[in-house]
Amino acid sequence: MTGLARRPSFGTATAALLVAVPLAIAVLGPLLADAVTPPDGAPYTVGDGHPLGTDRLGRDVLGLLLRGGPSALGVACCAVALGYLAGAPLGLAAASTRHRWLDELLMRPVEILLPIPSLLVISVVGVGWRGHPEAIALAVGALNVPAVARLVRAAALDAASGPVAEAMRMQGESRARVLFGYVGRAVLPVAAADAGTRVGMAVFTVAAANFLGLGLEPTSPDWGVTIAGSREALLVQPWAVGAPAALLVMFTVGLNLLSDRLLRSRR
């Protein structure tokens, strides 16, 4: 066990906190935003009643942060949820079938999608359906399906070929009991850890699309959009880039830490 893991409460608490802060801002921020946001000021001022300064349009950066969470995290979370919704049943079904042809039938079409580079699809979808977060979510979700299906299938096969499943089978437990009672539960932590890193990556993909001008409208309060829109003023008003970037980084660091821990505790 690692040094950090010897104090699991501390490490896990830090990780949870890192995830919780951006998450709380995303969930509660929109409710608070109207009360906290001062009227618009001059473009890219620092101070002057704006704790984090203003952006290109003179909008309060704090106010933007409070309103930009749902899209910044939500699109990514929805995308991964979609990916799991479609990918996990596929993977489980493929792993559990006794028929090789069914396994092939389920997995091969999925694997066709696997090699498509994700930003490639995003750049086509992003340009074609600009300003539609649901299109981006759908695309990122679809891109996640093959990897999720593969992972779930592999994890399920892994568990099913392990000694515990073997023992259960020897004792004459039914297939269904082995599958859902043991294999399913064994897959869960792997899937959770994977989902964690996947959300982190999806957040980046979505933010990168927004950065390249392929995602949401440039006036959206989304964190990625705010970073992209204010990047010219990095040296004049660093908060407009720094604050949303910090939230994104916190969220992904926290998620990565948590999923690391999840995997490690399983070992």
Q: Give the interface with other proteins as residue ranges (CB under 8 A).
A: 1-4, 40, 42-44, 56-58, 95-96, 98, 100, 108-109, 111-112, 114-121, 123-124, 127-131, 147, 157, 160-161, 200-201, 204-205, 207-208, 211-214, 217-219, 227-229, 231-236, 241, 245, 248-249, 252-253, 256-257, 260
CB–CB of 205/119 below 8 Å?
Answer: yes
CB of 161 to other proteins, least distance (A): 4
Residue spans of alpha helices (H) in 48-132: 61-96, 100-113, 118-128
CB neighbourhood size of 116 (10 A): 11
CB–CB of 134/71 below 8 Å?
Answer: no
CB of 186 to other proteins, least distance (A): 13
CB of 183 to other proteins, least distance (A): 9
236, 243, 220, 234: which is closest to 71 by C-alpha?
220
Q: Is 52 or 227 the residue whose CB approaches other proteins more closely? A: 227
Q: Is 88 or 250 the residue whose CB approaches other proteins more closely? A: 250
Signed CA dihedral, 101, 106, 107, 111: sign only: positive
Residue 216 has φ and ψ, to the nearest 5°, of -80, 175
Q: Is 22 or 29 the residue whose CB approaches other proteins more closely? A: 22
Q: Is 58 or 70 the residue whose CB approaches other proteins more closely? A: 58
Q: Is 187 or 233 the residue whose CB approaches other proteins more closely? A: 233
143, 148, 175, 176: which is closest to 91 by C-alpha?
148
Encoded tokens for 155: 């994890």
Instruction: Count the helices and strands in the chain (H runs, E runs).
Output: 10, 0
Q: Is 192 or 232 the residue whose CB approaches other proteins more closely? A: 232
Q: Is 89 or 162 the residue whose CB approaches other proteins more closely? A: 162
CB of 153 to other proteins, least distance (A): 10
CB–CB of 144/87 below 8 Å?
Answer: yes
Encoded tokens for 134: 């649901």
CB of 66 to other proteins, least distance (A): 18
CB of 75 to other proteins, least distance (A): 15
CB of 145 to other proteins, least distance (A): 14
Contacts of 103 (CB under 8 A, 6+ apart): 94, 95, 97
d(CA 130, CA 209): 10
